[in-house]
Structure formats: C-alpha cells, structure tokens
Chains A and B, each alone.
Chain A
Amino acid sequence: MRILLISSSYNGLCQRAHVELEALGHDISITLALNPDDVRKGVTFFQPDLIICPFLKEKIPEDVWAKHHCFIIHPGIKGDRGPSSLDWAIMNGEKEWGVTVLQAVEEMDAGDIWACETFKMRQASKAGIYRREVTKAAIKAMLEAVKRVESKSFKPEPFDYSKPDVRGILRPLMKQQDRKIDWAKDHVATIIKKINAADSAPGVLDVIDNQEYYLYGAHEESLLQGWQPGAIIAQRHGAICRAAIDGAVWISHLKRKNAVKIPFYKRFLSHDKQFDFKLPAAKVLGSILNETPESPIDPLFMGTELTFKEIWYEEKNQVGYLHFNFHNGAMSTAQCRRLLESYRLALARPTKVLVLMGGSDFWSNGIHLNIIEAAENPANESWRNINAIDDIVLEILTTETKFTVSAVWGGCGAGGAMAILAADKVWAREGVIFNPHYKTMGLYGSEYWTYSLPRRVGPVKALELTETPLPIGTKKAKAIGYIDEILPDDYEAYQEQVRQKAEAMATDPQYSSLLEEKKKMRQKDERVKSLAAYRAAELQKMKINFSGKFYGGEVNYHEARYNFVHKVRPKETASYLAKHMRLDAAKLSELRQPLTY
C-alpha cells in the first residue's frame, strides 16, 4: 500500500513506524504537520491508500480525513481521549495502560477503533514509557490495523462508552496546577510521580530561590535527608537533591521559565546569555549552589541503594556490565571523562567480557548539544566534547585484555550510533532504531566512524548510511553487518539473553585464541592505517564544522544545533522523508509517451 505518515515531528515512534512499514514492502512517504496546506499537499501528491498519524498534536484538515482512510495512534486505552493521556495514567497510578488505533473523525480521539494493545505500567518518566511500552504497543497495534485494512473485510469497533471493555474517559489537558508539588505535604513517591508525568514535557513548574523553573529527571534518594522540605541539600554531577517530608529526591534537569527567546543570529551579539532550554540543574542554578555540598559517588558504583547515578556496574560469572544512563543519551565532556574513568576501572576487574549496556532509553546519542549551546564558546565546547567521546571510543577499540560487547536496548544516533561499533560485538533489541549519520546536525562526525563503519558494512553501505540521514531498524542493520545479533523486545527476556550470550563468550573454550586473534587483527589494521590517523582526518573535517577560517566558519552545525536545542520546527519536511515531493522520473517518462486517441 501507499502509506502517508503525518506526524508533528519525526520522533522515535514515527521513525519506527516508517522502518517497520517499509520493511513490509509498503511505499511510505512522510509529511510533518507543519500547516494544513503541507498536509494537503502531501496527500494530493502522494495519493495514499492509507494515512497513519503516529504522533500528532495538530488537527488534520477535514477534507483529508473525510476523503481518506486515516488512522490516529492514540497513547491511551479504549475510550481514553484528550491531549494528556499518559500524564493522567502516570498521575493516577494506572497499573495497565494502552495504545489505540482510531479512525480520524471530527471529534478528537473519538473515531472507530481499528486495533488496540495494552501494557503494564512501570515507574518511569512519561518519555521513558513512551519510548518503551507505548512504542512497542503502538507498532503492534498499527501493524494489526494495517493488516485489517488490507483484508478489506474487517469492521472496526465503533467508539462506545457503554461497552464494558471501554474503560477510558475524556480527560482535559493536564495543567500546571494539577502537577504542582506541595513540598510540605507531598511524599517522595508523589513528587516522583508528578515529575515523571511531566517528563520530558512540559516539566513541573516550581520555585527555587524566587525564580520559576520546570523540573525534570526525578530519582529517589535513600540515604540523604534534610530538615526543610524543598531545600537543596546536595548536588552531584549537575543534579540537585531536594529534601522531602519522608526522604529526598534528586532532580537532574531544570529549565528556567520565561527566559527571553532570542533569534539565532542575535545570540552571537548578546553578552547576556539566558538559557531557555533544558540543562543540568546545577548549570541552570549556578551560584545559588555555591554552598551546596557535592555528594560523591563511586565511579564504578556497584551499590543497590536508590540514588542518582549515571554510571553503574554489575558483575557476574566473569562478565562485567557497565551501565551509562545519560539523560536523552547525550554525553557531555564531563560525562565522557567520567565514563572513560569507569570504563578503565571496569577493565581492571577480573572478568573476561565487558558488556556496555548504555541507558534505559538510549545507548548514546553522541555529544551533548544542550551543554554545548550553553557554553561560553560553543565551538570550543564542541571540540572538547568530541575529543572526550573519541577518547572513550579509542579505549574500547584498543581493549586487548577482554572482549567487549555493545548491548543496545535503547536507541542510538549520531556519535552514539558509531560508538557502539567500537566493541567486538554489537547486540541490539529487536525494536531499536539506529541513526548512524551526522548530516542533520551539519557535522562530518568522528568517533572513529571512518574506521569502524566501513569495516563492518563496507564502504558503499557506509556512504549510503551517512549520506542519507534515515533511520534503520535491526533487521536491515543485521543484514548489512552493522550489528551482530537481534535480541528480544521484552525487557526481561532481553536481559536474560544478554547474560547468557556474554557468559557463553566468557566460557568459550576458544576464548584465549579468539582474544589473541582479535589482538592480531587490531595490530594488522594499525599497520594499514593507524587509529590516530583516522581520528586526525575526522577531526580535520570537524574543525571546519566547528570553526573554519579560510572560506568562512561552517554555519550549518551551529544553526542546526541552535534549532535542535530550541526545538525550532523546520519550515518544511525534509526531502529525504517527503517522497511525494521528489521528482518521479518514472511518471515523467509516462507523460512523455505519445497521447493515444
């Protein structure tokens, strides 16, 4: 079928829908819902058999949904309606939630039901649940709905609140007054629930030192305590710990409210930088935390107590598991340096295999664009950051004492999607989406990708992957050699398989000879071209991206980063997504045929 995806942004769910539908042989084009005319243009040019809206905040024009088969993927159970479905589900402590595929009609979320899936809720941020449970259920329901359309015999279920299995209701937009934290009364669990329900957007509005901030990234603390609820009692790696009536809560990120947005070009002329985007809390609060003590944590944290930790380590049966759960997968200079230290400590442990687990939502997305944007000199900070991430990749590439594995549960993109290739083996969960390209950010890229990527997929595929900034799913990734294994989508089953496979590697009777072979292979590669030479060549290109001087500085990266950080919507759908905007040579040649009368 010809399927048009209409989406508010090309987010993770939309990317996954794109990849899954294309893998089934459907002809897919995408239009961002930037304005009704764009949507109409997409429909007119593409003439789809079916329209699917994986993530839509805007209304679809009536002439579109009235004339076409149009599905809305709604992140709620049957009967649930409204713009804050997941927010209410978290806030109300729902044990089970779901995703429904609805026919678009005039009334929002009130069309016939084509498919629905449910899942168990867990304690996590809204974004975390969206990326894991909602995405998995949405894809399953979407594929089911598509199959039902193809069957042409399926009768969708009318939206009917009198049915016993229709448990949802129409809920209003959740407002800040619904989210407000009462530090004098709210328990830790409530505070975490409130922040989770608003994370990653819009955040919970709160007051710190007479200034309003949105709070993000809540983590329970089990040891620290303070006397005055709401007071900041500690800081760690950019996060702040605030006292509550029954314990304490870490808050990793803040966004200042009402910071004046300044246009991109004026940013360079302004000396008064006001951050109007999400940043580590300590960065936003600055001197307010001068007296707040830093609460240290072991670089190779192996404890079980609840606290804020970005890096931790487990070990069992000669296998080490290094977790690094950085917010949104972005790795700043400081985080890279800490990870490098932890990696070296993990290497020194008496294990045979080291598994790089990444984080719960992302393995890594490369350099930290928000921190770079907030830096006094973004070009310098970009340079430091890329060097710091390169140092980690180099350490992994040159590990000779044990085998390394990248176990990818969350997605990865840009530098992160290249960094995974530094390990000896790459295993990924079935539903993972990879974005192994830098072009959308106007960068050439580093992380030794010019060595690792062609080595795995060959030079032709390497060029294809990096030149066309499209996501790839695990099936394609495995077929082209980008990854080695596909693991189950279910979290427990995935964990179990990672353990089994890693332990099998550690106990392989051929372990020593395989390790020796790996060492020899690296030495051979080094003789052909040194890793230093790969890095130097990549960094020579990156320097033009950061700060070129001969024909002028590269603006692409600085502008793209600004737009990314400030969530500036593109003016139009990128041509590599909007297939309908491409010139169709086949059709043109049809037009050139002589007319028959």
Chain B
Amino acid sequence: MFFKYWPVLLVDDEPDVLTISRLAMKNFEVYGLPLKIYTANSKEDAIYLMNDDVEVGCSLAVAFLDVVMETERAGLELCDYIRNNLGNKLTQIYIRTGQPGVAPEREVIDKYDINGYFTKVEATEDKLYSLIKSSIRQYLSYGMALSTIELSNNLIEAAGSQRKLLYTLSPIGGLSPEQAETPRWLIIDDQVLFADEIDADRGLQLLDRLRAIEGMPLNPEGDRYILDDQGYQLIDVVGSPSQAQVSFLFKSRFTPPDLIVNLMHGFVKQLAVIWRQSRKDT
C-alpha cells in the first residue's frame, strides 16, 4: 500500500533488448504509479544487484529474465536463485527467451516456479503492457494477502498482552522514512498509537473529518471504508463490548481495489477483537 513506484527487473545479455524494453515501458503506469526499471546483463550481475539493493533483493514486483546469457540456462538458474535462495515467492517472474529451442516452454513452466513464458519475437509493446499491468495487480494482491496473513498470525501470537500487540503493530503505525508523503495512524478506542502529541492531534482531526464522510459500508455492523479527495483513507471498525473501536487511517499514493480493502478490513477487525481480549500490561 505504500509503494512509490513498481520495481521491475530486466535481465538480458543483449543491450539492445534492454534499451528497447526500457523505452517501451517508460510511460507505463499501474494504479497510477510509474515503474522503476532495473537492468542487469547477466545472471551474476542480477545477483550482485539483488545483494546490493534491498529493493531488488526483496521488493521486485516483476522480473523479465532472458534464458541464455553467460550459460545456456543462466536465466533459469537466476529464477531458481530468486525463488529458493532469496525465498522470494512473490515477484512475478517471466521467462523471455530468444532461443526457445534451448529452453522449451513446457519444460520451463514444469520445472521452474515462473509466472509466464514468451519469446522475444512476441514481446511487442502491447504484450509488455498487458503483462506488466496484470502481473503488478497479481503481485499487489498476493503480497497484501501474505502480509495480512503474517500480521494476523502475529496478532494471534501476541493475543492476551497489549504490550506484545503493540510490538506487533509497530510496523504499521509510528514514524516512518516516508511519513511525509504516506502518513498512517492506528487509533484504538480514540487513542492514537505510536504518535507524539502533534501527530496524534493531526490524526484525530483527520479521523473526525473522514468519519463525517459517508464512505462504503464493509459489513452490516457499520464498519466502513472511507476515501477523501486528498487520498486519505480510513478503515473504521466500530466498537462493541466484544471488540475495540479501531481505525486504520493512512494516505496511499493509489486507490486500492476492493480485494485489498477487504483484506485490510479483515486485519483491522481481527485486531479490534484481540485487543479487547488482551490485558493492559505496558
């Protein structure tokens, strides 16, 4: 939810292919955000980049890998490295080969955990556009789903202790390097977590403003998703004897699709219930 752009990696030993692809993708946007294109001209170069830059190592949305580079199967080995050595199951990996005879489509898709296969001849600008668009949608949905599951698991582990819950929640609230552009607040029973006085006041003012907007109902109990014209978004879970009132207020650079709103609502709702059942032990 807090991406500035979508990191994409192109790996190919033909400089022309890299240049043309970069040019073709220059103006692509997904959810209104541009791409940030990294390039590497060999498997080794790509691995170096992955170990050098945390974004390439961890947050790549899409990777287009040539197969035949320094060796006949360098691209496939790179795919293996991304999936198994970096443990990255999220990046959408596409094999783009100029020599389909060396790595036939069926063999590659059977043996390697890739998301798609195409030949360089097929790689028109339109093809790249549709691949980028669909794969980033897929990446975002899958990534949010996995992160939501992980957060939920962490909440369950911390259940019973509000101190432990706060530790679990700290990645979401509080100061952040990108706070100026994408601030976020977690507000439980009108208490703003992880914020100093000034930030807390700002958060509460925004909360009042957003709550005055009708928004979209998320369930019959009255939980709502609200988006204002400045990009501030609110997932508001109403309080009851069995759950705390929890508001997740944030600003994102793009409007999330319904699936992601539902995922976030699921997490906030779970927090509301667990929080109420946990003791204050700060």
Contact surface of A with B, Cβ cutoff 8 Å: 264-265, 268-269, 379-380, 382-384, 387, 442, 530, 532-533, 535-537, 539-540, 543-544, 546-556, 558-559, 575, 583
Please tell me if the beta carbons of A552 and B176 are within 8 angstroms of each other in the complex: yes
25 residue pairs from A and B, CB less than 8 Å apart: A264-B175, A265-B175, A383-B58, A533-B84, A533-B87, A536-B88, A537-B87, A539-B86, A539-B87, A540-B88, A543-B57, A546-B54, A546-B58, A547-B59, A549-B2, A549-B3, A550-B144, A550-B147, A551-B1, A551-B172, A552-B182, A553-B178, A555-B174, A559-B175, A575-B282
Interface residues of B in 153-190 (CB under 8 A from A): 163, 167, 170-172, 174-180, 182, 184
Q: Known contacts A532-B84, A535-B85; is A552 also within 8 Å of B54 by CB?
A: no
Residue of B nearest to A269 (CB): B180
B197 proximal to A (CB < 8 A): no
Please tell me if the beta carbons of B281 and A583 are within 8 angstroms of each other in the complex: yes
Q: Known contacts A551-B1, A552-B171, A556-B171; is A380 also within 8 Å of B84 by CB?
A: no
The CA-CA distance from A550 to B90 in the complex, in Å, is 12
Q: Which of B177, B184, B194 counts the most chain A CB atoms within 10 A?
A: B177
Distance to closest chain A CB from B112 (angstroms):
16
Q: Known contacts A533-B84, A550-B144, A556-B170; is A383 also within 8 Å of B54 by CB?
A: yes
Please tell me if the beta carbons of B57 and A383 are within 8 angstroms of each other in the complex: yes
* Across-interface contacts of B1 in A (CB, < 8 A): 549-552
Across the A-B interface, give the 8 residue pairs with the lowest CB-CB distance, nearest first. A536-B87, A543-B58, A383-B54, A550-B147, A554-B171, A268-B177, A555-B174, A540-B87
Interface residues of B in 36-65 (CB under 8 A from A): 51-55, 57-59
Distance to closest chain B CB from A551 (angstroms):
5
The CA-CA distance from A583 to B281 in the complex, in Å, is 8
The CA-CA distance from A379 to B54 in the complex, in Å, is 7
Q: Known contacts A540-B88, A550-B147; is A387 also within 8 Å of B281 by CB?
A: no
Please tell me if the beta carbons of A549 and B176 are within 8 angstroms of each other in the complex: no
Q: Which of B52, B151, B176 counts the most chain A CB atoms within 10 A?
A: B176
Interface residues of B in 76-103 (CB under 8 A from A): 84-88
Residue of B nearest to A439 (CB): B167
SS of A interface (majority) = helix
Please tell me if the beta carbons of A536 and B86 are within 8 angstroms of each other in the complex: yes
The CA-CA distance from A540 to B147 in the complex, in Å, is 11
Distance to closest chain A CB from B181 (angstroms):
10
Distance to closest chain A CB from B88 (angstroms):
7
* Across-interface contacts of A383 in B (CB, < 8 A): 51-54, 57-58
The CA-CA distance from A550 to B151 in the complex, in Å, is 11
* Across-interface contacts of A559 in B (CB, < 8 A): 174-175
The CA-CA distance from A260 to B40 in the complex, in Å, is 40
Give 11 new A-B contacts, CB below 8 A, not counting A380-B55, A551-B147.
A383-B57, A442-B170, A536-B88, A537-B87, A547-B55, A549-B59, A552-B172, A552-B182, A553-B176, A555-B171, A555-B177
* Across-interface contacts of B57 in A (CB, < 8 A): 383, 387, 539, 543
Please tell me if the beta carbons of B170 and A384 are within 8 angstroms of each other in the complex: no
* Across-interface contacts of A265 in B (CB, < 8 A): 175, 179
Q: Which of A537, A544, A552, A583 counts the most chain B CB atoms within 10 A?
A: A552
Please tell me if the beta carbons of B176 and A555 are within 8 angstroms of each other in the complex: yes
Residue of B nearest to A530 (CB): B84
Distance to closest chain A CB from B101 (angstroms):
30
The CA-CA distance from A440 to B58 in the complex, in Å, is 23
Among B143, B144, B177, contact of A553 (Cβ-Cβ < 8 Å): B177
Among A535, A552, A558, contact of B2 (Cβ-Cβ < 8 Å): A552
Residue of B nearest to A547 (CB): B54
The CA-CA distance from A532 to B83 in the complex, in Å, is 10
Residue of B nearest to A553 (CB): B176
The CA-CA distance from A260 to B277 in the complex, in Å, is 46
The CA-CA distance from A544 to B90 in the complex, in Å, is 14
Among B51, B148, B180, contact of A384 (Cβ-Cβ < 8 Å): B51
* Across-interface contacts of B146 in A (CB, < 8 A): 550
Among A382, A533, A535, A551, contact of B54 (Cβ-Cβ < 8 Å): A382
* Across-interface contacts of B85 in A (CB, < 8 A): 532, 535-536
Distance to closest chain B CB from A219 (angstroms):
31
Q: Known contacts A380-B52, A533-B84, A553-B2; is A543 also within 8 Å of B172 by CB?
A: no
The CA-CA distance from A38 to B146 in the complex, in Å, is 43
Please tell me if the beta carbons of A543 and B175 are within 8 angstroms of each other in the complex: no
Q: Mark B117-149, 1 if CB is under 8 A from A, else 0.
A: 000000000000000000000000001101110
The CA-CA distance from A307 to B179 in the complex, in Å, is 47
* Across-interface contacts of B182 in A (CB, < 8 A): 552
Among B53, B84, B171, contact of A548 (Cβ-Cβ < 8 Å): B171
The CA-CA distance from A540 to B59 in the complex, in Å, is 10
Please tell me if the beta carbons of A551 and B88 are within 8 angstroms of each other in the complex: no
Distance to closest chain A CB from B172 (angstroms):
5
* Across-interface contacts of B52 in A (CB, < 8 A): 380, 383-384
* Across-interface contacts of B3 in A (CB, < 8 A): 549
Residue of A nearest to B81 (CB): A532
